[in-house]
A = this chain, B = another copy of it.
Amino acid sequence: MRVFIPGVDGYLGWSLAQHLAARGHEVAGSDCFYRRRWVEEEMGSWSAIPIASMQERRDAFKERYGAELRFWEGDLTNYELVAEMLEDFRPEAVVHLGECPSAPYSMVDAKHAIFVQVNNIVSTFNLLFAMRDLCPDAHLVKLGTMGEYGTPNLDIPEGFFEVDFRGRKDHLLFPRDAGSWYHWSKVHGSNNVMFACKLWGLRATDIMQGVVFGTRIDEMGAVPGSPSDQRLTTRLDFDGCFGTAINRFCCEAVIDHPITPFGKGSQRRGFLPLRDSMQCLALTVENPPERGDYRVFNQFAEVYDLGELATKVQKVAAEAGLHATIRNLVNPRAEQEDHYYNPDHDHLFELGYRPSGDIDSEIRVMLADLMPHRERIAAKRDVLIPDVGWTGPRRKMKYLASEEPLAIP
């Protein structure tokens, strides 16, 4: 199948290009390298694991998978470029990984909030219009987030639910209650994609993804700590805006920095390893919906709370001789810490998704992959403590319930 991946240079994008190529698909992609610039120029950070340039990546891709990775450099908010790429490549599926993926980044200030919403809405719009005009039979796989739902005091179905209200019934969108301008940009995008399917008969799958963690997929080499080809590794961020929970915890553990869950750590979320995210996206691409269908998949392996994950990382790290403490931080986010959380996630299991393994094994792989890069992480250790709060001015979060100074001044 011909699969086009906007955002192919990212954490998920570069992994997916390889996973799909290994499964025999023809892959092309685009990127404007925003992620590299956000992390390096704005966050003053870098990927914990060094990554190659796109040219080096494409060379390695060709050597490993025996096929060219066609690539366009450019911005999805440029309609002419989007149309040119789709017209040229004629994809059968488009996996849209070309949005800004960070909640904290969207909370920096008005400029960032507006950038994230406009960038994400316009890029999705351009893909929708270009698909309508150039490849209306192709399947759009749109990356959303479980964060679109928030934490209602109800089970969370996959996208839609049966409403019974004052004695009448209808099948409607499940109400969204996002928690950042970024998360709302994903809700806006979901709404637009749903309407495009209804209006033009496009077909789309909207992936409400949980938090992804992990340093590799098997295509990058099967031996942890030793990639078969460094050019094939994907990025892994640990800064306050682009680092996500388990990835950050593992980076902290390998440099003896305290592991820092936000707030009480009782927030519950769905999580899945990078290799499971790839498995799910491949299943989604290979099982497209009918024309006109807009379907929603909740994509995660299991629900954990953050404190539980911090303890897991601490325990697995101890096996490797690392002795990280756990120090909860003042929560930079405005979010419920004690809440009900029971989302459905049946659709992908019905398509054949099988979680790849236990979380301890995955953390073991991650720590092995990160150990060779301890100095690189330590050199940027000041970015581990987030400084973007949901309200108030930008400043480093303090440790919770303590007057102690931060490990990092």
Contacts and interface: CB of A to CB of B under 8 A. Distances in A.
Interface of A: 79, 110-111, 113-114, 117-118, 121-122, 125-126, 129, 152-155, 157, 161, 163-166, 168-170, 172-178, 181, 184, 187-188, 191-192, 195, 198-200, 334, 340, 390-391
14 contacts: A79-B111, A110-B126, A113-B125, A118-B121, A153-B170, A154-B165, A154-B169, A157-B165, A181-B192, A181-B195, A184-B188, A184-B191, A184-B195, A199-B334
Given A110-B125, A155-B165, A166-B154, A175 B175 contact: yes
Contact of A175 (B113, B168, B173): B173
Given A122-B114, A126-B110, A178-B191, A168 B153 contact: yes
A234 to B, nearest CB: 31
B110 A129 contact: yes
A126 B155 CA distance: 35
A126 to B, nearest CB: 7
Contacts of A129: 110, 113
Contacts of A340: 168
A166 B155 contact: yes
Given A163-B175, A176-B191, 8 more contacts: A110-B126, A153-B168, A154-B168, A154-B170, A157-B165, A178-B191, A187-B191, A199-B334
A199 B103 CA distance: 14
A191 to B, nearest CB: 6
A73 to B, nearest CB: 22
A148 to B, nearest CB: 10
A334 to B, nearest CB: 6
A114 B82 CA distance: 15
A156 B155 CA distance: 23
Nearest to A152: B170
A391 B129 CA distance: 12
Contacts of A110: 79, 125-126, 129
Contacts of A390: 199
A161 B174 CA distance: 12
Given A79-B110, A390-B199, A164 B164 contact: yes
A184 B195 CA distance: 9
A160 to B, nearest CB: 9
Given A117-B125, A121-B121, A176 B173 contact: yes
Nearest to A125: B114
A118 B122 contact: yes
